[in-house]
Structure 1
């Protein structure tokens, strides 16, 4: 009888352990899906605007300068609002902070389609603030909750981000047609943010993050929050200012010029194509192609650069492709719009190399943190100014030639910064 009882207890214990293991796997799987869905929300707010920009302008009676301000909001928020993410994560915890970021994003997407031009700007500002917070917090979730699969989850997260950007530009025109106008096309993306928010709360309820109970999660969230502090040095020396370091400014110039190029294209390229005679739907699909082309390049080239060097070579090569596409779009936009889109998309893939330059040009974690804060903080600020200046030049000249020439100049500067950033030295 005793042996039978022991056997029964062993069976129950084994069954309980098996059930717990299955629950942990299911919880990790749900969290992974929640991370992917959250990442898919980080670009549609930006890429959806370009596809219906002229329609919104006409309906609101707004100028090209207003349109430039609208396309400037995301980059400006990425430069400023993201600095509040570490404080928010410490204050609320990592999981609630990301939930709040998704809620802010959803609210902003709704607000920006309910009234006039200034409300559109205000709603875009709110939505962009939510994206800026999530931009910082999602990689921390990946690092802390998927420690054994950081590489895999980072690749999945990047793919989801690029896919969201492509969907934003390609689906907004048909969504606008289906809902009766640009407001419905833009506002529909709030549904994706709400879905991500609901799934995020389902995946993290009860304080379970990556299979760890509340106490451990709270500790991990505290550590994660500290790890994204701008002052974090990673325990490898004190953080130092790089404002007088020439190489740091070169890396910052590289990151800033590529951001400027990318945000101008995401905000304005569909309108340039539409004015050249391309249909609104086709222009949106081409912008979606531009977004997707960065995915394979971002996955393939950085590992090659890390293993064999050649950062400067690849930066120049992609820069030349970008300049070629921009030149074609300026001189003969209707001649081969698909070819120009492919070349521009390959040129915009230099983003992954700009991120690689930050890690490759610093020896210690402290210097990496300093260089990252400087390059991304100032770089995104430059990226934010680009779309505004582009719209202002379009407003003043009434033509696309001058603003497009400005973008070509930006990419030429990016090409030079990338070449010098590729030289094997350290800040």
Structure 2
């Protein structure tokens, strides 16, 4: 049956890949980072207002990775049981509730609300690549780029707009809570785009049935995804504070973090479609990783010399996230295999990433400075480049 946009859908559970669905994907992507990036620039005010410790701050920045690991592993099961459209709609509802709850009370409620919100994000993280693979099969690279650009744009908005929102709305609670309205809009549009589509369970025949846990390639992709996520969540959670401690103002630090995300927007729109048409994505992955390594080295050796330059280089390096998502889709032959690889890569990958912000903050507390933390982060990036080069080669799980 021919669907809007010229896409063929012959299997139950596949959502029609039309314009409204593309809009819904973009709006959904815009909500997958503000819950996290909005915290970094306001972390000091949150600690002061809540009377919370540095350990609490480390736990708060670790929670997203842990949620992404646990909920991410459950996403394929949820989509098979209720259908992918319903599963993503449920996840957006969970995200909206979590964003409201986390600003209602004390430090433990903040942690609990963050846990709920990021659990919703985790489910969407895993399932959107499946929607792109199934509903836009001829435009995987393009839609992955658009999705990732919107995701990075949302992250930039979260970090850049939260400080002025705090001033305009009278406190960090109102600033963080305002992002729930954006999530509610995405939920409404997603419901309109998926009415009658994507609710049927995905047939078992779509996949090979074998466990990806025995696939070396699946573990390579998972490790690559986990290491780049490790770096990303350290940067989103702690880089503003690193800049502030080097003499950068709080507002400027938030804008620099926003710049890192904004840089990824044009890169995500351009690079994935090009890379997806090539036999290997390894050169792109290594090249972008090299830029990120240069930026981290700059922060390590001379953080106050040119924070803008370091942020630009780190932003280019973190843009490899768009290729990590592209690789997940390209290393699988079917939508069902994409779901399983996405669940494995993001489940185990975010479990690896979860230790990043905690270790980064802990090393700072132990050493009294950021140098050791940044050296460890730079080493992780170099290992990520190796696994990214292996994951980018044309093979299939």
Q: TM-score, normalised by structure 2?
A: 0.85
The equivalent residue for 2:199 is: 221
Contact 1:76–1:384 (CA under 8 A) maintained in structure 2: yes
| Alignment partners' CA distance in 2, 1:93 and 1:420 | 33
The equivalent residue for 2:9 is: none
Is 1:263 matched up with 2:238? Answer: no
Contact 2:126–2:339 (CA under 8 A) maintained in structure 1: no
Larger radius of gyration: 1
The equivalent residue for 2:57 is: 67
Choose the corresponding residue for 2:155, options 151, 158, 165. Answer: 165
| Alignment partners' CA distance in 2, 1:148 and 1:319 | 28
1:362–1:329 CA distance, 2 compared to 1 (3 A): same
1:382–1:149 CA distance, 2 compared to 1 (3 A): closer
1:145–1:255 CA distance, 2 compared to 1 (3 A): closer
1:422–1:164 CA distance, 2 compared to 1 (3 A): closer
Contact 2:130–2:335 (CA under 8 A) maintained in structure 1: no
The equivalent residue for 2:250 is: 280
Comparing 143-152 with 72-81, which one deviates more in the overlay? 143-152
Give the 3-state SS of the residue equivalent to 2:261 in structure 1.
Answer: helix
Contact 2:233–2:356 (CA under 8 A) maintained in structure 1: yes
Choose the corresponding residue for 2:210, options 239, 247, 253. Answer: 239
**TM-aligned CA deviation for residue 95 of structure 1:** 4.1
Contact 1:48–1:168 (CA under 8 A) maintained in structure 2: yes
Contact 1:261–1:383 (CA under 8 A) maintained in structure 2: yes
1:325-375 per-position Cα deviation (integer Å, ceiling 9, x unaligned): 111112211110000000000011122333344455567777666544433
| Alignment partners' CA distance in 2, 1:365 and 1:28 | 18
| Alignment partners' CA distance in 1, 2:224 and 2:311 | 22
| Alignment partners' CA distance in 1, 2:134 and 2:385 | 35
1:225-277 per-position Cα deviation (integer Å, ceiling 9, x unaligned): x27xxxx6734x4423444x544433322221111011111111111112222
1:84–1:30 CA distance, 2 compared to 1 (3 A): same
| Alignment partners' CA distance in 2, 1:306 and 1:147 | 12
Contact 1:63–1:395 (CA under 8 A) maintained in structure 2: no
The equivalent residue for 1:99 is: 89
Contact 1:103–1:197 (CA under 8 A) maintained in structure 2: yes
The equivalent residue for 1:85 is: 75
Comparing 250-259 with 329-338, which one deviates more in the overlay? 250-259
| Alignment partners' CA distance in 1, 2:25 and 2:338 | 25
| Alignment partners' CA distance in 2, 1:364 and 1:221 | 19
Is 1:317 matched up with 2:287? Answer: yes
Contact 1:44–1:165 (CA under 8 A) maintained in structure 2: yes
Comparing 363-372 with 113-122, which one deviates more in the overlay? 363-372
Alignment coverage as a number of residue pairs? 381
The equivalent residue for 2:355 is: 385
The equivalent residue for 2:5 is: none
Is 1:124 matched up with 2:143? Answer: no
Structure 2: tracts of 5 or more residues without a match: 1-16
Structure 1: tracts of 5 or more residues without a match: 1-26
| Alignment partners' CA distance in 2, 1:352 and 1:32 | 17
**TM-aligned CA deviation for residue 156 of structure 1:** 3.5
Comparing 55-64 with 82-91, which one deviates more in the overlay? 82-91
State how 1:23-422 maps to structure 2 within 5 Å. Answer: 31-141=21-131, 153-201=143-191, 203=192, 209=195, 214=196, 217=197, 220-223=198-201, 226=202, 234-235=206-207, 237-243=208-214, 245-359=215-329, 361=331, 371-422=341-392
**TM-aligned CA deviation for residue 414 of structure 1:** 0.8
Contact 1:311–1:422 (CA under 8 A) maintained in structure 2: yes
Contact 1:233–1:367 (CA under 8 A) maintained in structure 2: no
Comparing 78-87 with 280-289, which one deviates more in the overlay? 78-87
Comparing 120-129 with 303-312, which one deviates more in the overlay? 303-312
**TM-aligned CA deviation for residue 138 of structure 1:** 4.1
In angstroms, what is the RMSD of aligned CA positions?
2.9
Contact 1:239–1:370 (CA under 8 A) maintained in structure 2: no
Q: TM-score, normalised by structure 1?
A: 0.79
The equivalent residue for 1:4 is: none
Contact 1:64–1:394 (CA under 8 A) maintained in structure 2: no
1:318–1:200 CA distance, 2 compared to 1 (3 A): closer
The equivalent residue for 1:7 is: none
